Amino acid sequence: MMKLTILGCYAATPRTLSNPTSQLLEIKNHTFLIDCAEGTQVQLRKQKIKFTKINHVFISHLHGDHFYGLIGLISTFMLFNRVNDLHVYGPKGIKEIILLQLRASGSFTGYSLCFHELETTQSQIIFEDEHVEVHTIPLKHRVYTNGFLFVEKNNERRLNLDAIQNHNIDKVYYNKIKYGGTITLDNGTVIPNRELTFDPPKGLRYAYCSDTMYEESIIPLIQEVDCLYHESTFLESEAHLLERTMHATAKQAATIASKAQVKQLVLGHYSTRYPSIELFKQEAQTVFEEVILADDGKIIEIN
């Protein structure tokens, strides 16, 4: 299971009752922060999330409603005498912005602050360990923007118990087999792993796509993901704003979800011009059924 906490999901500017974009994704042994608008550290406090669990921050693009809270979070980590490395993934330029402000305040971080600046427009793997992979999803917006695909790795192959019992293999070898090992029987016969196992179940995948206009080139990258967050700044009634702003409508988000055959679609990055976010769900469901509305503080479990 992954746990997605929406810290903020409204467009443009922080307001009294709504926050611009930030999300927290708990995946395997990691707590990833995705975007970090002004006020994110207060939203983390409101959700009672231990700041120090966050070691990786992914910034989609350098519009203020997605990253103006990062410098404050980094400064707060300094005050808290953080020790662990902090990794920041974001567009080229983010390092200079952060370091310029730290220098101006005569500060330095006691912890290592590692920037991973992005500039390619091809999807690439930007984080990988034993349990998790993170890929970029190149998006189309007014400035250089990436979405992110978070993938749980599933390294454990499933045991083919019939085959294993046919060969009278003892239980002590099961773990070896799960992780791809071959078995040598007492008579010297070598049994290759593929005869004893099935492929592992596919790991869960979460795709974060914001901000972006309607862009079909992302479909192969997010094909059949378990959960897709796709921005829906507008409704179709504001379609005339799309070309200039390079945002998407709820219907367009649903069309992407449908074409990519994702399991569920989460909508967000709402313009605050509408009287109710239910309108986004209604519009999206004319195209795709499994729609969840993001809202500040909402927790979404991805199974």
Q: Which residues would be at the binding site for its own copies (CB under 8 A)?
A: 12-16, 38-39, 41-42, 45-46, 62-65, 68-69, 71-72, 75-76, 79, 91, 93-94, 96-97, 100-101, 104-106, 142-143
Instruction: Tell whether the torsion through CA atoms of 68, 69, 70 and 71 is positive or negative.
Output: positive
Nearer to its own copies, 21 or 197 (CB): 21
Q: Are 102 and 69 in contact, with CB atoms under 8 Å apart? A: no
The reply to whether 65 belongs to the active site is yes
* Binding residue positions for Zn(2+): 61, 63, 65-66, 141, 211, 269
Question: Which amino acid, 129?
Answer: D
Active-site residue identified among 35, 65, 162, 296 = 65
Nearer to its own copies, 79 or 190 (CB): 79
- At 44 the three-state DSSP class reads helix
Specify the pairing of strand 86-91 against strand 113-118: parallel
CB of 233 to its own copies, least distance (A): 13
CB of 250 to its own copies, least distance (A): 21
Nearer to its own copies, 3 or 45 (CB): 45
CB of 86 to its own copies, least distance (A): 16
Q: Are 270 and 10 in contact, with CB atoms under 8 Å apart? A: yes
* Binding residue positions: 61, 63, 65-66, 141, 211, 269
Nearer to its own copies, 30 or 66 (CB): 66
- At 284 the three-state DSSP class reads helix
* Rounded Cα distance, 37 and 39, in Å: 6
The pair of three-digit structure tokens given for residue 263, joined into one six-digit string? 């399991």
CB of 7 to its own copies, least distance (A): 13
Q: Are 74 and 102 in contact, with CB atoms under 8 Å apart? A: yes
Q: How many CB atoms lie within 10 A of CB 209?
A: 25
| Residues classed as catalytic | 65
